Amino acid sequence: MVLNLLDIERHGTRALGPGLRYVIWTQGCPFNCPKCITPEGRPIVSAKLADTVQLANDIIANKTIEGITISGGEPFLQATSVAELLKTVKEHRPKLNIIIFTGFLKENLLSDDAQSILSMTDLLIDGPYMEALNDGVGLRGSSNQRLHFLTDRLLPYKMELLTGKRQIEITINNHHSDAIGIPLNQNVL
């Protein structure tokens, strides 16, 4: 099975959830949120195609990470592939915690594959990004987005995830730089 990716951060980041995290950004999003942090992830086109088994093996082999964050684009546009990836990872590394960002509302994630993903997810952050509601705190991009703790594994971090200071990390690879994290609303600066 194949997963269409915008990018991955395989070495880990601490800017998108507690602990050192492997991050996957999927390609393709139907929402077109104004001021989206990853507008290059919107087009529903083939980008970097990754075999889910190979990607799972890369995650499984990375013994330094404590969790996985999946964002986009929109991960639930590729629910079958994301479910397969998480299933394989969880079979080998069941203690890794999973955070997923989605523009969909949780109550609309009804497909079997979406439900499979939710059954393996510790924290779901749902709802479209709204720049006017970016209050500059916590892991969510805007205050309309909801944090659904689907297990108790990340509950010790609840206040930090809701109201904590945001972090931005800059990575440089092969003369290319990326900013990782949830940015402040420019009006808050």
pLDDT (tens digit per residue) in 175-184: 777 778 777 7
pLDDT of residue 183: 73
| Residue-level pLDDT at 122 | 99
182 Cβ neighbours under 8 A, 6+ residues apart: 15, 16, 37, 138, 139, 140, 141, 166, 168
Give pLDDT, residue 104. Answer: 98
DSSP 137: B
- Which domains does the chain carry? 2-181 (3.20.20.70)
- DSSP letter assigned to residue 44: -
Residue with tokens 């080998």: 92
Give the model's pLDDT for residue 186: 55
pTM to 2 decimals? Answer: 0.92
Which parts of the chain have pLDDT scores under 70? Answer: 185-189
**pLDDT per residue over 47-57, tens digit each?**
999 999 999 99
